[in-house]
Amino acid sequence: MPTHSVCCEWQRCPHGYNDGATDTSQVGLNWLWLISHAPSRAVEHSSKKYCPSFTSHKKSICTFEALTPELVENAIDGALKAKTSWENLPLDERAAVFLKAADLLATKYRAKINASVMHGQSKTLWQAEIDAAVETIDFWRFGAKFAKSLYQIQPTENDFGVWNRMEYRPLEGFVSAITPFNFLAIGANLPSTPVLMGNVALWKPAENSVHGAKIIYDVLTEAGLPEGVIQFLPGEGLPFAQTTLRSPDLAAVHFTGSTTVFDTLWNEVGKNLSNYKTYPRLVGETGGKNFHVVHETADVDHVINSTIRGAFEFQGQKCSATSRMYVPKSLWPRIREGITQKLPELKIGSPGEFDAFMGAVINRRAFDRVSGYIKRAKESPSCQVDGGAFDDSKGYFIEPTMITTTDPSYESMREEIFGPVLTVYVYEDDKFEETLELCDKTTAYALTGAVFARDRGVINYALNKLRHTAGNISCFLNFRSTGSIVGQQPFGGSRKSGTNDKSGSANCYMRFCSPRSIKENFLPLGDVSYPSMASE
């Protein structure tokens, strides 16, 4: 079993989860406990909100309090009160909290957090493990390393009698961390990154991820995070955004979610600009329309398997999921046959069934949106649809779907769907250069992509042509568009995919500090005159 980076120095990671293994039993017991005790109370509440389970949409996993502007204002006050003592702690002591939290998540809370994400986000056991456990642990452990590495960036020259140094201060104010449903690791990382740098944060997790997010918050508390440093505020986005964006003390927004929402946040910051004590930093990772470009020299079996994983694992709800593919005509019959033969073998069901490849999409809105694309493709004369069944009688289940289109600008080639739908455009083998142009110009996004080829000249040409088409790109006998690992592939995109500040790297930590240049002089000034003023 290959290891996953270095998140667990003494453990195999991710766990193998072979049938009957202790790891599987522990997750299974936690799964059964969650099912039998749902809905639990994640946060004390006077006005109850429900976090539903989408594998069975008539059930809920937990309840929490409905957000009000008053709650958010109190949280801002609480965070600012905690700020001075937290930012005055040495970096090593702040990092110790997150390193301890990583140890707790790797051991005591591992099965619990995986079961929570399986139940709450309809992730399979493997998808839960590589997200909620492994990637969160990696973010916290590598985060300590990245933060410390900033202090190695120091002036290289000192005049005689002078000591120059850089201090990496936290921002002035609080950070608003707004996190998505689809990756609990992102939910943990968005408040943790600024907090490790000495900031305080208000954390609003997506309503669909509250149960797992509360476990993360509890782990940080048990690891020694002082009260008030992270304010945990699950609930609706509107009262949270309106209150935080109008606060004079807003220092930064750390966001992962839709492009539309990020555009709205950015516009609101602009409207309130004269009200802020400092210019807020905006760090965001948003949508994607991620591609696989296949060259005629590609390994066909590798393309088939990589594309199925990239497009359909976790129901296509990864921001990096493979959503469009360009295939040369000479390879298309074999690729189409390979994909269509494998699709019926992908089991769709409850994550409690450990042999399931896929679960349900996250909610009714997602189900209606994704099924709408499938319905329209079935009616379009330019499209052929393989798969494409859907059923919402119990959960929001959608079959993996492949649309083949003769129109490279068809809506499912351009628009983010965020579901298990792959659209394929077949090009003439001698039109590879034109196809790269199509790939670059078809959509507004630029998050991830992959080029499949075995010709080094082709790879180099494609990387240059697609220079601004993706913030993360793979090539050769390649990985799919998904699967970036903390410490190995810093993640982020540009254009309408975000600010490309590369989570999983030191660059992102720099965004949440305000460097101060310090010059310390050890020699007294004995005169006010300069050498040029000396008389002859």
Structural tokens at position 49: 């909100």
For residues 421 and 389, is the Cβ–Cβ distance under 8 A?
no
For residues 38 and 54, is the Cβ–Cβ distance under 8 A?
no
Three-state DSSP state, 121: helix
For residues 64 and 51, is the Cβ–Cβ distance under 8 A?
yes
Distance (Å, rounded) from C-alpha 72 to C-alpha 93?
28
What is the fold of 290-474?
Aldehyde Dehydrogenase; Chain A, domain 2 (3.40.309)
Distance (Å, rounded) from C-alpha 78 to C-alpha 247?
14
Distance (Å, rounded) from C-alpha 240 to C-alpha 259?
18
Q: Decide if 415 is catalytic.
A: no
Distance (Å, rounded) from C-alpha 118 to C-alpha 352?
8
- Which residue in this structure is represented by tokens 């900033």? 150
Helices (H), 205-249: 210-222, 237-245
Instruction: Supply the pLDDT for residue 34.
Output: 54
Instruction: Supply the pLDDT for residue 6.
Output: 36
Q: Strand locations in 125-204, DSSP E?
A: 162-170, 174-178, 200-204
Side-chain half-sphere exposure of 416, counting CA atoms within 13 A: 23
Distance (Å, rounded) from C-alpha 343 to C-alpha 389?
12
Bridge partners of residue 403, in order along the sequence: 385, 423
Helices (H), 345-389: 364-379
Three-state DSSP state, 521: strand
CATH of 67-286+498-518 given 2.130.10.10, 3.40.605.10, 3.60.70.12, 3.10.20.30 = 3.40.605.10
Distances 138 to 101, 176, 284, 440 between C-alpha atoms, Å: 11, 22, 20, 32
Quick: pLDDT tens for 477-530.
467 777 778 878 888 899 999 999 898 889 999 999 999 999 999 999 888 998
- For 78, residues 6+ apart whose C-beta sits below 8 A from its C-beta are 228, 231
DSSP H or E stretch at residue 326: strand 322-328
Instruction: Supply the pLDDT for residue 11.
Output: 36
Q: Of 24, 164, 262, give the one whose Cα is nearest residue 515.
A: 164
> Cα angle at 319 between 62 and 407, to 5 degrees?
130
Instruction: Supply the pLDDT for residue 9.
Output: 35
Amino acid (1-letter code) at residue 120: G
pTM, full prediction: 0.89
Helices (H), 272-356: 300-312, 332-342
Structural tokens at position 176: 């608003």
Three-state DSSP state, 321: coil
Quick: pLDDT tens for 415-440.
999 999 999 999 999 999 999 999 99
Structural tokens at position 291: 């591609």
Instruction: Supply the pLDDT for residue 12.
Output: 35
For residues 74 and 231, is the Cβ–Cβ distance under 8 A?
no
Q: Of 106, 64, 358, 75, give the one whose Cα is nearest residue 209.
A: 64
Quick: pLDDT tens for 361-401.
999 999 999 999 999 999 999 999 999 999 998 889 999 99
Distances 449 to 21, 487, 508 between C-alpha atoms, Å: 36, 19, 21
Q: Of 315, 322, 313, give the one whose Cα is nearest residue 395.
A: 315
Backbone angles phi, psi at 297, to 5 degrees: -90, 5
| Domain regions of the chain by residue span | 67-286+498-518, 290-474
Three-state DSSP state, 286: coil
Side-chain half-sphere exposure of 427, counting CA atoms within 13 A: 19
Residue 342: burial class (beta carbons within 10 Å; 0-12, 13-18, 19+): middle
- Which residue in this structure is represented by tokens 């590609």? 298
| Catalytic residue selected from 285, 313, 399, 416 | 285
Backbone angles phi, psi at 399, to 5 degrees: -70, 145
Instruction: Supply the pLDDT for residue 53.
Output: 58
DSSP H or E stretch at residue 256: strand 250-256
pLDDT in tens, the chain (536 residues): 233 333 333 233 444 444 434 466 565 555 455 545 444 555 554 455 555 655 566 667 767 778 899 999 999 999 999 999 999 999 999 999 999 999 999 999 999 999 999 988 999 999 999 999 999 999 999 999 999 999 999 999 888 999 999 999 999 999 999 999 999 999 999 999 999 999 999 999 998 899 999 999 999 999 999 999 999 999 888 889 999 999 999 999 999 999 999 999 999 999 999 999 999 999 999 999 999 999 999 999 999 999 999 999 999 999 999 999 999 999 999 999 999 999 999 999 988 888 999 999 999 999 999 999 999 999 999 999 999 999 998 889 999 999 999 999 999 999 999 999 999 999 999 999 999 999 999 999 999 999 999 999 999 999 999 999 988 877 544 677 777 788 788 888 999 999 998 988 899 999 999 999 999 999 998 889 988 888 76
Bridge partners of residue 281, in order along the sequence: 252
- For 55, residues 6+ apart whose C-beta sits below 8 A from its C-beta are 119, 122, 350, 351, 359, 360, 394, 395
Helices 237-245 and 69-87: crossing angle in degrees, nearest 10, is 60
For residues 183 and 314, is the Cβ–Cβ distance under 8 A?
no
Rounded to a whole number of angstroms, the CA Rg of the chain reads 25
